[in-house]
Chain A
Amino acid sequence: MTVVASGASALAAPGFTGAIGQRAQSAGALRIFYPNFPVLDPQVVTNGMWFAAAALLEGLVTLGPSGTEAVPAAAEKWDVSADGKTYTFTLRSGATWSNGDPVTAQDFAWTYKRLLTPQGGGTGVTLGANSYQPILRIVGAVDYQSGILTDWSKVGIKATSAQQLDIQLENPNAEFPLLLVHPSMLPMNPKLVEAKPKDWQLPENWVGNGPFSPTAWTVNTSITLAANETYWDHANVGLKSVQARLYEGVLDTAAVSYESGEVDIVSLPLADLIRYQADPTLSKQVVSVSGGTVAYLAVLRSKNPILEDVKVRQALALGLDREAIAKTSPATKPGAQLVPDSLKGWDQADNIPFDPDQAKQLLSDAGYPDGKGFPELKILCTSTNPQMEALADIWGKTLNIKVKLDVVETGVYVERRWQVQDENTVGFYFGTYGSTPTWSTWAANLWGPQFTQQFSMKAADWAAYQKIQNDSSLKPAEQTKQLEDYLAAHASKEAITYGDTVNKAFQSADPAEQQSLLRQAAKIRQETYLFIPVLFIGSFYAVKPTVKGINLLPGGLAYYFKSITNG
């Protein structure tokens, strides 16, 4: 699409707003693009869950303006017990659903039960968001979800009155309120969802507690929202209506639509970002947030054991010139840690240094002086872009080895990255990960203890482990036990130390100590070099000058609609 972007500049005065825009624009209305979603269920992993969080439903807490703290929302306050394990949320008095019923603690408890029901209340036919549960560490939640525990009363979620919700944690976690901003923790109206298990999402049935309600929705086409007048903070909602045009896949012409005044906010792909930044008018309309997403490489298991040597992996990690790769795009920064710099207490002292000399020395020690005899390194990925090309090129040149991008279809990618590769294939798969800026997420969720330990196993052990995973004759509890035992016996020492440090962190009732232990755990994990961080990727948007109050957040949410005004 670079062709369009650069070719287009010649055809029109940049920033010119034409007839289409002027006619459609009215004060208090916002027009945007949004990636299509098949359902609006916050408990199903689709773009719909993010849309619900941004506009339609309000959780106990929301992300504050800084993007790194939780602020009261449906709950007006919360108290933590002395041992740090019990959170008591007091719901906002007077807050109602859009049908006038009060929002109660029972509603939240009901919603969380739906989320944790093994069949996944909302999931049934697709992927549930309850995979997010483990990091919350709510007493009994994961066991209930996996079917080991069947008595809901043993799960640490209780409505003690209409206004009070108690959540009991296995361990103290100072970041717990922040973790609750995830869409899967949004409330749903029990009466409605029970009465209309599928159609509750349709505008004509909708009952929500958020600042907006849907008024019209055509799948794959558009959704229209109107401000919800029963919302407790309606006076502070800046927009009267929102019109989101839904699109599937990639919409290459989005930036052109923005320039011709069809939409007020647009997410900028790389080619357009470069063009916008070079334009004196448009560059003033670009806003960004960094630190939401990390691009990383994860080691592929292979019959060829060369990457099972931690020294070799370390050499590769040290030989990666992240500065040079990041320079290929204005949207990226060098990412020398798996933990992004948007976290409170992040320290660049933990960075993996760029040290080509040590890298070469390590390779030489491992028997590959000046890269001689080292097999071609493959990077499994689903698409390529200038950064990926730069990654392969610069990495290979620095270490005098061959690095090749192995671009495959998504279905091939998801299957191949778990497989044990043949003798001739050694390398990494490329991935990106974005989430809320909490230490529990970044130090202990993706690339969490179990995941890291799985990656640390030798290829043959990994194959045996997968066999247990696929054994459908085992009962859930039995299978979990066998997998745990196998992992404990075959994971690397470092990976187990990492797991122990994470556990130790979660035992600590002192928030500062907890954070420091999590940081320490992340460092231990990093030094296994099973996952190699490459870049921090920022999000870039163009926002019309009439639009005020947009507060970009790192991660999947992008921004809340509530604070935005237009015109």
Chain B
Amino acid sequence: MIRFLFWRLVRIVLSVIAVSLITFLLLQAAPGNFADIQRVTSGATQLTPSQAQEAIGQFQTRYGPQVPMWKQYLRFMQGAIRWDFGPSYKYPNLTVQHIIAMAFPVSASLALMAVAIAVLIAVPLGVIAAVRQNTWIDYSTMFLVTSGRALPSYLFAIVLILIFSRALHWLPTSGWPGVKQTIMPVAALALPSIAIMARYIRTSMLETLRQDYIVTARAKGGGFSAVVMRHALRNSLIPFITIVGPYLAALMTGTVFIESIFAIPGLGLYFAQAAAARDMPLLMGATIFFALILMVANLLVDIAYRLLDPRIGFGPTGGR
């Protein structure tokens, strides 16, 4: 177990370094720079190149314009180790870690609610479809679920706004925070999750239901629902956890479209804006944070996996 954890942590550290290096190099290769882009997008007076040069010259951060690239990277990483990413270019009064601390709980709470709702709906749907395989219940459930998957969440979000804001006036179109403000974004995020999860549960259940021990349990006179709930579902949940973990992590790091449509100050929106604006510290900080969240989620899933199924061990290479 300790050995397993140790090697996984080594892998996480190496991956974070790789992610940061790739992000940094890509950002250097990208055309344009923060000051130039800011000038165009903030509707400011257009400067001549010489004036622009002055403006960039004044652009004093811990990375001056004369500091060579490799030094900028090392300077950033030096801070990053201590969870100090420095101030964002765009939000000079806020440090990147402060922005993450503000925006992550917003994205994470949306994600948790969406995934919780999705699980609550998807599991029964998947089980019913599997148990009633090849009946109209199975077909209609899977039809609905597939349609839900095909409809992108941002389009679904707009349909929701048209119905609940424009026509019925029940919910506000956008804003944060607030219970009413949360309903539509959560619903929009949950829909595709329901689709993915229900299909997963169904497939997994079908496989389990064909297993010998289920047949045996039934033959021994176990009630159908008891067998399904106690034996089949529990065993089907193991592969299910594999997808829920990383899925939750992906949603937690923010969803650009949903946050943008509903004007939610989540991490996804900051990340997208940072990339567009070439806000190096914010983009680097967010990317490293995303990478960490994803890898930690995967690690937790792997641990949970091993606890649920003792047959998978904590081998030195991490088992499977």
Contacts and interface: CB of A to CB of B under 8 A. Distances in A.
Interface of A: 3-4, 7-8, 11-12, 16, 18-21, 38-39, 45-47, 118-120, 123-129, 131-132, 146, 198-199, 201, 218-222, 245-253, 256-257, 259-262, 382, 409-416, 418, 431, 433-435, 445-446, 448, 450-451, 454, 466, 469-470, 472, 483, 556
29 contacts: A11-B166, A18-B168, A38-B92, A45-B42, A123-B58, A124-B58, A127-B42, A127-B44, A131-B47, A131-B55, A132-B45, A198-B92, A219-B102, A221-B265, A245-B263, A253-B158, A253-B173, A253-B261, A257-B173, A260-B165, A410-B41, A411-B30, A411-B37, A413-B32, A416-B31, A446-B45, A450-B48, A454-B49, A483-B50
A263 to B, nearest CB: 9
B55 A220 contact: no
Contact of A19 (B39, B40, B169): B169
B162 A11 contact: yes
Contacts of B273: 248-249
- Pick the most buried of A259, A414, A451: most chain B CB atoms within 10 A of its CB: A414
Contact of B49 (A119, A198, A418): A418
Contact of B174 (A7, A21, A132, A253): A253
A411 B33 CA distance: 7
Nearest to B176: A221
A256 B161 contact: yes
Nearest to B44: A45
Contact of B54 (A146, A261, A431): A146
Contact of B166 (A119, A256, A412): A256
Given A4-B158, A245-B175, 13 more contacts: A11-B163, A18-B168, A20-B172, A38-B93, A126-B59, A129-B44, A218-B265, A245-B174, A253-B158, A260-B173, A409-B31, A410-B276, A446-B46
Counting from the closest, the 8 A-B pairs by CB-CB distance are A18-B169, A411-B32, A125-B92, A220-B265, A11-B167, A414-B36, A45-B44, A38-B91
A364 B276 CA distance: 43
B160 to A, nearest CB: 11
B133 interface: no
Contacts of A409: 31-32, 276
Contact of A47 (B42, B167, B174): B42
B17 interface: no
Contacts of A246: 263
A416 B168 CA distance: 48
A431 B175 contact: no
A412 B31 contact: yes
B32 A412 contact: yes
A126 B30 contact: no
Contacts of B163: 11
Contacts of B39: 45, 127, 414
A198 B93 contact: yes
Nearest to A221: B265
- Pick the most buried of A201, A220, A556: most chain B CB atoms within 10 A of its CB: A220
Given A47-B42, A128-B55, A262-B173, A39 B162 contact: no
B134 interface: no
A264 to B, nearest CB: 14
- Pick the most buried of B90, B103, B169: most chain A CB atoms within 10 A of its CB: B169
Interface string B74-113: 0000000000000111111110000000110000000000
B278 interface: yes
A126 B92 contact: yes
A256 B87 contact: no
Contact of B278 (A245, A411, A466): A411
Contacts of B37: 410-411, 414
A127 B35 contact: yes
Given A11-B166, A221-B265, A446-B45, A410 B53 contact: no
B269 interface: yes
Contacts of A451: 48
Given A220-B265, A434-B43, A470-B53, A253 B165 contact: yes
A457 B50 CA distance: 15
Contacts of B161: 4, 253, 256
A126 B282 CA distance: 14
A61 to B, nearest CB: 19
A12 B49 contact: no
A12 B48 contact: no
A45 B49 CA distance: 17
A248 B260 contact: yes
Contact of A247 (B33, B46, B93, B263): B263
B317 interface: no
Contact of B58 (A120, A199, A247): A120
Contacts of B225: none
A128 B58 contact: yes
A39 B139 CA distance: 55
B32 A260 contact: no
Given A125-B87, A413-B32, A19 B41 contact: no
A322 B161 CA distance: 38
A256 B165 contact: yes
A261 B265 contact: no
A212 B158 CA distance: 35
B60 interface: yes
A413 B273 CA distance: 17
Nearest to A483: B50
A259 B161 CA distance: 12
Given A38-B93, A125-B60, A201-B93, A248 B269 contact: yes
A16 B55 CA distance: 48
B61 interface: yes
B40 A414 contact: yes
Interface in B10-68: 30-33, 35-51, 53-55, 58-61, 66
